[in-house]
Amino acid sequence: MKHCPRRSFLLTLLFLSAPLAAQSLPQTKFFPIPPCRVADTRNPAGAFGAPALAAGSSRTYTLVGTCGIPASARSVNMNIAVVMPSAAGSLAVVPGGAGAGSSTAISYRAGKTRANNFIARLGSFGDIAVYCQQPTGTTDFLIDVSGYFEDVSATPVSTFTAFAGFTTFGASPALTAHIRDVGMSAFLDEQFAAPPSNYVQGTLFPNNQPGTCTGNCPRDNYTMYPLQGQFYFNALYGGDQLRQRVAWALHKIIPINGQDIGQSSRNVPYLNILANNAFGNYRNILYQITLNAAMGQYLNMNTSTLQLPNENYVRELLQLFSIGLVKLNLDGTPQLSGGEPIETYNQAAITEGARVFTGWRLAPPISIAPLTDDYVTPMVLVDANHDKGAKTLYNGTVLPCRGPVAPCSTLQTADKDLNDTIDAVFNDPNVGPYIGGSLIRNLVTSNPSPAYVARIAAKFNDNGSGVRGDLAAVVRAIVTDSEALAGATDPNFGALREPAFFAIALLRGLGARSANGLGLSDGVISPQVANLGQTVFQPDTVFSYFPADYLTPGTTLYGPEFGILSASTALRRANLVNTLVYSTIPVGANNPSGTSLDMSGIQTLAGDPAGMVEELNRRLCHGLLSAGAKTAIVNAVNAAPTPRAKAQQATYLVATSSQFQVER
């Protein structure tokens, strides 16, 4: 593959290939990406594959959202190769929607393979069109992209701030500036490479709290206090922000209630499965979660036997963790029969499927006296308790019985039953739109368009290299999709900040400090957030913290987070802002350093109330605070008597506004 040796050369090429009126590029920056193939007509038929391009025809390729190319990209650096054309001619590569004109990306002779480096401008939808300009016949070609150009001056700061909101627990001035400087794709590369801030595995304690466990021992071992504190500390300060965001999204898709499991240390392996696989393969998550001890306890798989199969795990595996209740098109819309949605499975399938998950139980206790169950080791098989008969899965797949005589097979072990079932579920066509759509709703917006869901489902089905379930590719596609980065233009775009995100975003936007302002927050804010209706790692039901299908009152729009918003919790949100702005979360028995907001950066703007409000608008509202709101807040700030009071007034009013509480 040919590479341009220097950025200045690439800029020169872009300048020379541009129309005269478009040659002023003072703020254009080039962002390299790992070489990535976006088209190869020699591959099987598909959006980026066969057939070969016929003489006089064209094909359009949407590049934004592919290979980490963000919606803010204006052009791409590509290597285009023509393979054994049937006639001499040329290929023109132009912005999507434009005609071929006289533009030529590469010329060639019949039967010859030739490559050329080219910089192609993107159309208004982030696409290019390839025209085959030869008299007869066809030609195969392939395109590899190795970087993109972004006109930083033309990209609103709000776009970078919104991107920071999708990919972290909240934007800050330094973070937004960093993303703008290195580019979205490079920032994602940094996040994918960042070491995980895993939860520390604590000591497993006896099942029943011993009398010797006094002082802080019950709090530190028999409650979720340590994990909740670490979650908030990671969210406020951790370097692996995107990993933790995705892990949190996966926790809401595949939930357990940690307090039901009984000890914080018992939940650590479950949480680390989600974090370690956040950029891995979804199939691995399904397998590891199935054998996780905490999940086994939560959904009763650890007591499911040949004699008493339990249906809870297989039901949630299908309904919540993989395919959902109804068959979906690629774009997430339901498939219909006679005007009604088609079910993915029925009760008979659950009864039958439960037989697959019989025989596993917790590993032997690490101590008998006192009894201390092992929640660190994955569940182990007691083969005598596994159902060895033939089983028919929900999709009609038949698992043979175990035995030496056909149709049984001695190879059909319990582990093979388990893996065959997970393979069937993982490869179900519903998983792409169901899980892809769920991740969009957890990371970006509650009401993605069908086209957005379809693009992400396609990426789940194939990451571009034939791999299914590649979450790194899926996440990259979600957060760089044109709909995500242009979201503010759609009045239905966005999501109510769930209570945890509401508190974290405010603290990150202003700067979270210890109560005395001299150090870091201890991250112990779970009691305050619980007062808003959400206790981290303790969802109320197996359906997570709020109903995924909750409709925003008075609309036809989904707003899951509104399911736990009431008049009382709305007031408590304002009270929490009041506490952080006008006071602190003080040091106490459970708060070793406490928490406060760093108001210094806002207070320095006290002489410019409009500038103060605009700075808060950028930090907290992605620059989307309405003109009317800004005017009202500036008037209130002008009435405050001191610089400190002005900063507090402005921060309180912006943080309690609907434009902060609904992230767009």
Q: What is the pLDDT of residues 563-606, one digit of tens each?
A: 999 999 999 999 999 999 999 999 999 999 999 999 999 999 99
Residue 173 falls inside a structural domain: no
| pLDDT value at residue 482 | 87
Per the structure, the complete domain to which residue 139 belongs is given by: 7-155
Percent of the chain at pLDDT above 90?
Answer: 78
| pLDDT value at residue 23 | 31
The tally of domains found in the chain comes to 4
Mean per-residue pLDDT over the chain, rounded: 91
Q: What is the pLDDT of residues 636-646, one digit of tens each?
A: 999 999 999 99
φ/ψ of 280, rounded to 5, equals -100, -145
pTM of the model as a whole: 0.84
CA-nearest of 140, 124, 28, 34 to 80 is: 140
Do 424 and 448 share a domain, yes or no? no
Do 361 and 221 share a domain, yes or no? yes
Contact 333, 326 (CB under 8 A): no
Residue at a domain's end among 397, 413, 431:
431
Residue 659 falls inside a structural domain: yes
- Please say if the pLDDT value at position 16 is more than 50: no
| pLDDT value at residue 158 | 82
Do 425 and 477 share a domain, yes or no? no
Q: Which two tokens stand for residue 316?
A: 């949630």
Q: How far apart are CA 341 and CA 323, in angstroms?
A: 14
Do 526 and 503 share a domain, yes or no? yes
Residue at a domain's end among 489, 504, 538:
489
Do 340 and 448 share a domain, yes or no? no
Do 211 and 337 share a domain, yes or no? yes
Could you tell me the CATH number of the domain that includes residue 100?
2.60.120
Do 138 and 208 share a domain, yes or no? no
Rg, Å, the chain Cα set: 28
Residue 422 falls inside a structural domain: yes
As a whole number, mean pLDDT of residues 164-193 equals 91
Do 402 and 505 share a domain, yes or no? no
| pLDDT value at residue 27 | 52
Using CA atoms, how far residue 256 sits from 105, 190, 425, 574, in Å, is 54, 30, 20, 29
Q: How far apart are CA 315 and CA 299, in angstroms?
A: 10
Do 505 and 465 share a domain, yes or no? no
Residue 167 falls inside a structural domain: no
Residue at a domain's end among 107, 139, 155:
155
| pLDDT value at residue 152 | 65
Residue 2 falls inside a structural domain: no
Q: How far apart are CA 44 and CA 41, in angstroms?
A: 8
Q: What is the pLDDT of residues 257-312, one digit of tens each?
A: 999 999 999 999 999 999 999 999 999 999 999 999 999 999 999 999 999 999 99
Do 334 and 438 share a domain, yes or no? no
Do 312 and 398 share a domain, yes or no? yes
Q: How far apart are CA 265 and CA 401, in angstroms?
A: 38
Higher local confidence (pLDDT), 21 or 302 = 302
| pLDDT value at residue 463 | 92
Q: How far apart are CA 211 and CA 200, in angstroms?
A: 25
How many C-beta atoms lie closer than 10 Å to residue 156's C-beta? Answer: 12
Residue 166 falls inside a structural domain: no
Using CA atoms, how far residue 584 sits from 210, 223, 236, 516, 590, in Å, is 36, 24, 16, 9, 14
| pLDDT value at residue 13 | 30
How many C-beta atoms lie closer than 10 Å to residue 286's C-beta? Answer: 21
- Please say if the pLDDT value at position 398 is more than 90: yes
Residue 37 falls inside a structural domain: yes
Do 422 and 437 share a domain, yes or no? no
Residue 503 falls inside a structural domain: yes
φ/ψ of 178, rounded to 5, equals -65, -45
As a whole number, mean pLDDT of residues 404-409 equals 96
| pLDDT value at residue 19 | 32
DSSP state at residue 404: S
Q: What is the pLDDT of residues 318-362, one digit of tens each?
A: 999 999 999 999 999 999 999 999 999 999 999 999 999 999 999
Residue entry with tokens 């907290």: 620
| pLDDT value at residue 596 | 97
Q: Which two tokens stand for residue 516?
A: 């005395």
As a whole number, mean pLDDT of residues 414-418 equals 98
Q: What is the pLDDT of residues 362-375, one digit of tens each?
A: 999 999 999 999 99
Residue 439 pLDDT grade (very low, low, confident, very high; cuts 50, 70, 90): very high
| pLDDT value at residue 69 | 85
| pLDDT value at residue 102 | 65
- Please say if the pLDDT value at position 131 is more than 70: yes
| pLDDT value at residue 154 | 67
Q: How far apart are CA 333 and CA 454, in angstroms?
A: 10
